[in-house]
Amino acid sequence: MQAIPYGRQKIDQEDIDAVVSTLQADFLTQGPKVNEFEDKFAKYVGAKYAVAVNNATSGLHIAVSALGLKVGERVITTPITFAASANCVRFVGGEVWFSDIDPDTFLLSLEHTKRLIESKPKGFFKGIIPVDFAGLPVNLEGFRELADKHGLWIIEDACHAPGGYFTDSKGNIQMCGNGNYANIGVFSFHPVKHIACGEGGMVTTNSEMLYKKLASLRTHGISKDNMSENHGGWFYEMQELGYNYRLTDIQSALGITQLAKNDKGVVRRNEIANTYKNAFKGKINYQDQPKGAYNAHHLFVIEVEDRKGLYDFLRTHRIFAQIHYIPVHTLPYYKDIGYESADLSNSEMYYSKCISLPMYPSLTDEEQRFVIEKVLSFVYG
Ligand SMILES: *Cc1c(COP(=O)(O)O)cnc(C)c1O
């Protein structure tokens, strides 16, 4: 059997044709494909505005900048995420505070976050960055209530979750990144994620003010809006310090065809998840699925006692499982800052057991049966 990775992109002829025709068109970057991708993505998640960027890390950077985060200001996130969810706060000199996960959903715990916020004076924190970990949407309704009470903003790191949703207390479906509860949502188009652009990302919001700020920061802080004085057609102003975080037309063309296939991919991911769950039920622990939530399943994580043993055993069968994630507060850069006093025991316990099994739409039934058989044979001898 072929090697089986934990994740894999799927590029078909339609994707290739779309990229080739963009290469033959007038614009390689800053052309019509970027706008088309933004419009289609905004519609897909149900947000008013979308800003395409060169990767989600840049997207997180301009998100915290657009919200006005400054040196020394404090933001809360989960330790069970990719480092970029926290790094964006450091890019602008902010302080990262970690709050623990819920041991069943593996998501940032509303209870822990509430306790952390309420243990400090008013105004101590500026924002919260919850992560739709593994593709399971955070129920942002409770976080919004908490944030409003304390004057905080919310950035939803939805990199794992295009197509996922939770159901709010009124019974309404809330798509990840729709901006109804979070101020800003951020998505990644790295090939291991759902939609592959090579590199790429999208920032979504319902606020026109934030949209304008995000679009400006993506392109050097330059604007051509102020044409009141008659300077001439070449005129532009640099209003603020921005970056070049643009996505190309080539990547956007790929993003458009990939986005069109996302629903089908998420359905297949859920089929694969259900097959794993049926095989492991009552034997091996996996991520809880709260009522009304639809998991986009970037990952399928299980918890086992001898995690290193299973990881190595699977590799001998050319099954390349992966670990998501080493808790961010234990990475050397963050360790040096010092998080000894924070109680993050659920995150540390989770990390000692977690392992992500192969999860991608093109995984075959035969390959999945092989993975399940090997996992069960390791755990049960
Ligand atoms: C992948 C990922 C990012 C960063 O995405 P890039 O597009 O690679 O910059 C940020 N947050 C989470 C949770 C991710 O999984």
pLDDT in tens, 331-378: 999 999 999 889 999 999 999 999 999 999 999 999 999 999 999 999
Q: What is the pTM of this model?
A: 0.97
Residues with CB under 6 A from ligand 1: 55-57, 81-82, 84-85, 131, 157, 159-160, 188, 190, 201
3-state secondary structure of 216: helix
Cα–Cα distance measured from residue 60 to residue 204, given in angstroms and rounded to the nearest whole number = 11
* Tokens standing for residue 362: 């093109």
3-state secondary structure of 371: helix
Q: How far is the CA of 159 from the centre of ligand 1 (A)?
A: 6
* Domain range annotation of the chain: 4-261, 263-380
Give residue 228's pLDDT: 66
Give residue 229's pLDDT: 67
Tell the residue number behind the tokens 């976080």, with chain if given.
143
160 CA closest ligand 1 atom index: 15
Give residue 267's pLDDT: 98
Cβ partners under 8 Å of residue 44, min gap 6: 162, 175, 259, 262
Dihedrals phi, psi of 26, to nearest 5 degrees? -75, -30
Task: Quickly count helices (H) and strands (E) in the chain.
Answer: 13, 16
Give residue 112's pLDDT: 98
Is domain 4-261 given the CATH code 3.30.910.10 in the classification? no
Q: How far is the CA of 293 from the centre of ligand 1 (A)?
A: 22
Q: How many CA within 13 A on the CB side of residue 347?
A: 24
Cβ partners under 8 Å of residue 181, min gap 6: 140, 141, 143, 144, 154, 156, 168, 174
3-state secondary structure of 208: helix
Cβ proximity of 179 and 50 under 8 Å: no
81 CA closest ligand 1 atom index: 13
Tell the residue number behind the tokens 């997180």, with chain if given.
60
Q: How far is the CA of 247 from the centre of ligand 1 (A)?
A: 15
Give residue 375's pLDDT: 98
Q: How far is the CA of 141 from the centre of ligand 1 (A)?
A: 23
Secondary-structure breakdown of the chain: helix, strand, coil percentages, each rounded to the nearest 5: 40, 15, 45
Which residue numbers in the chain have pLDDT < 50?
A: none
Give residue 233's pLDDT: 83
59 CA closest ligand 1 atom index: 9
Of 9, 77, 78, 190, the one to substitute when testing ligand 1's pocket (max ligand atoms within 8 A of C-beta) is: 190
At the top level of CATH, which class does the domain 263-380 belong to?
alpha beta
- For residue 264, indicate whether it is catalytic: no
Cβ proximity of 136 and 81 under 8 Å: no
Q: Which residue from 100, 80, 81, 105 is spatially nearest to 291, judged by alpha carbons?
A: 105
Q: Which residues of the chain form beta strands (DSSP E)?
A: 4-5, 49-53, 74-77, 95-98, 125-129, 153-157, 165-167, 173-175, 184-188, 201-205, 222-223, 237-238, 285-286, 300-303, 319-320, 354-357
Q: Which one is catalytic: 193, 264, 283, 374?
A: 193
200 CA closest ligand 1 atom index: 7
Of 78, 193, 258, 328, the one to substitute when testing ligand 1's pocket (max ligand atoms within 8 A of C-beta) is: 193
Q: Whose CA is nearest to atom 6 of ligand 1?
A: 56
Q: How far is the CA of 200 from the centre of ligand 1 (A)?
A: 10
pLDDT in tens, 159-171: 999 999 999 999 9
